[in-house]
A and B are shown apart, each in its own frame.
Chain A
Amino acid sequence: MESTFNRATNFVTRSRVWRSFFRHGMPDNEMDRSLVMTTNIFFHLHPVKVNRRSLRVTYSFGLGIISAILFLTLTVTGVLLMFYYVPATTLAYSTMKDLQTTIPLGQLARNMHRWSAHLMVLAVILHMVRVFYTGAYKPPREFNWLVGVVLLLLTLGASFTGYLLPWDQLSYWAITVGTNIASYAPVLGSTARSILLGGSEVGQNTLIRFYALHVIIIPLGLILLISLHLWRVRKDGGLAGQEIPEERLEIASLKE
């Protein structure tokens, strides 16, 4: 039995087809574990080896990864919602009602999208706070901190534009108040507001503009900058937490 299984796996993994897909063998030895990281696009953002110190939960709390995971969840559930949602003032609300009442698991998809969105804003903020307090923005990571600040703003933008889409009282007045704040900015304020709203008040033009921003423009920006952000983490030497060797830390705390 064992040998049949082994033969079958060997037949598959040694076939030309399999080997054209994967450029590494079973990652049970150091060579193949390195090759996994260098030859696989999904793994190549990781270094081949990581410092144990940067893996400690109390150092990073995994907040950056959690933010990225939530972005993934939001993409999946968001695409599902797009199957039914219509960004028209006459239809938007009724499609929301349909999602909640008639479409199987529509309510669940909407719930997951909503709660993931809130959680992502929270995770991104906490991630920034963690990076700040651990001093991980210091050289050579200054630029990546800037990318992070832009990512925070984009996350807020994605959440804010999504807030209008259900077209209920909650969203309508939140966006009315929110965009009116922008109009107080000198010079650019009222122009920016009317371009954002596509008019002088929140209406059909606003809904379709926010929809375009929410489902494509901001997500594309996020994907671009998340890639840059992760790439820079790698290029700047991984997490900052690994940099001080253990014994120097002890000496430093003794001095105090």
Chain B
Amino acid sequence: MTVAKTTSDSKVSRRQFIGYAWAVAVIALFAQAAGALYQFVQPIVQAGGFGGKVNAGNVNEFAVDTVSTVREMHGFVSRVEPQGALTMSWTCTHLGCTVPWVESEKQFHCPCHGSLYNTKGEVTGGPAPRPLDLYPSEVVGDELVVDTSQTIQRTKFDQSQITPFPKGA
């Protein structure tokens, strides 16, 4: 009796096929491990405190043409006009230093690389690539509530960025 030979036109032999299957399985295993590692090292999102909604204070505390530093919101309330104010982050858009409001210079002056911003947060000098980031905010009753969970990046100042204050504030 003769053993029937399997004939096939396939260019890949059975041994090769199993070899390839092993290789693919090993690569898939490593890819999976890499994916798992990637997920593992993702930062944990924390709730509460800074990162949530912060009460910046009564709208009457922010006088016209002044800039107030509000520590709880990591930023400034800049009352650029009687009708409202800008709520801005204090993180420099260049390399993340904390930008202080310098009262004597009437501008924001970053100590790290000398970026300058005016009261509207627009860049007037230095290496910063864009104006100070904004926080979304609204007036609830007479309190200014700032949502610090996100920042809004902008390329220039425009009127719509101002949070309107109630009349008489």
A interface residue numbers (CB < 8 A to B)? 173, 176-177, 179-181, 194-195, 197-201, 205
Contacts and interface: CB of A to CB of B under 8 A. Distances in A.
Interface in B61-97: 91, 94-97
Interface hub of B43, B44, B91, B94 (most chain A Cβ within 10 A): B43
B43 to A, nearest CB: 4
B112 interface: yes
A173 B97 contact: yes
B44 to A, nearest CB: 7
Interface hub of A177, A179, A205 (most chain B Cβ within 10 A): A177
B43 A177 contact: no
B41 interface: yes
B96 A180 contact: yes
B42 interface: yes
Interface of B: 41-44, 46, 91, 94-97, 112
Given A173-B112, A177-B112, A205 B44 contact: yes
A179 B91 CA distance: 14
Given A173-B97, A176-B97, A177-B96, A195 B112 contact: no
A195 B42 contact: yes
Nearest first, the 3 A-B pairs at minimum CB distance are A180-B96, A180-B95, A198-B43
Contacts of B112: 173, 177
A172 to B, nearest CB: 10
Nearest to A173: B97
Contacts of B97: 173, 176-177
11 contacts: A176-B97, A177-B95, A179-B96, A180-B94, A181-B95, A194-B42, A194-B43, A197-B43, A198-B41, A199-B44, A201-B91
